[in-house]
Amino acid sequence: QVQLVQSGAEVKKPGASVKVSCKASGYIFTTYAMHWVRQAPGQRLEWMGWINAGNGNTKYSQKFQGRVTITRDTSASTTYMELSSLRSEDTAVYYCARDFVVVPTASFYFDYWGQGTLVSVSS
C-alpha cells in the first residue's frame, strides 16, 4: 500500500532553515509528482510547490520563490522540502502529498498524504 512517511517535528529560530523529508513506499517513486502543502494554525491549506520525481523538475508558488527548495533522492524514494529564512509566520504543519496522475502530467490534486511535520519557529 502507498505510504508517505515524513520526518519528525522541528523547532527553529527565526532566520534559520529547515529541511523536511518524505519517504515514499508502495509504488514506483519516479512515476508520480510530489507536492508540498502547509497548514498554519487556524489557516487554510497552502500549496508550496512540486517536483516531478521522474526528472527532478520543480515549480514553486510565487509566494515561496527564493525561499523554498524541493529535491528528491530516487535511490531512497525520498522527497525533501527545504525552507530558508524562517519567520514566525512559517510555523505550520508541512505535508507532502502525491499527485493523482503519473508523470509527466500533473493533476494538482492529491491522493496520498504524509502524516505531516510540525515546524515551529520561535526565538
The footprint of other proteins (CB under 8 A) covers 44-47, 59, 61-63, 95, 97, 100, 107-111, 113-116
Q: What is the dihedral of CA 1, 80, 93, 65, to 10 degrees?
A: -130
> Minimum CB separation from other proteins for residue 123, in Å?
27
Tell me how far apart the terminal alpha carbons of the chain are, to the nearest angstrom. Answer: 40
Which single residue is written with the C-alpha cell 524562517?
Answer: 86
> Minimum CB separation from other proteins for residue 112, in Å?
8
Distance of alpha carbon 42 from alpha carbon 53, whole angstroms: 31
> Minimum CB separation from other proteins for residue 13, in Å?
26
Which of 5, 11 has the CB closer to other proteins? 5
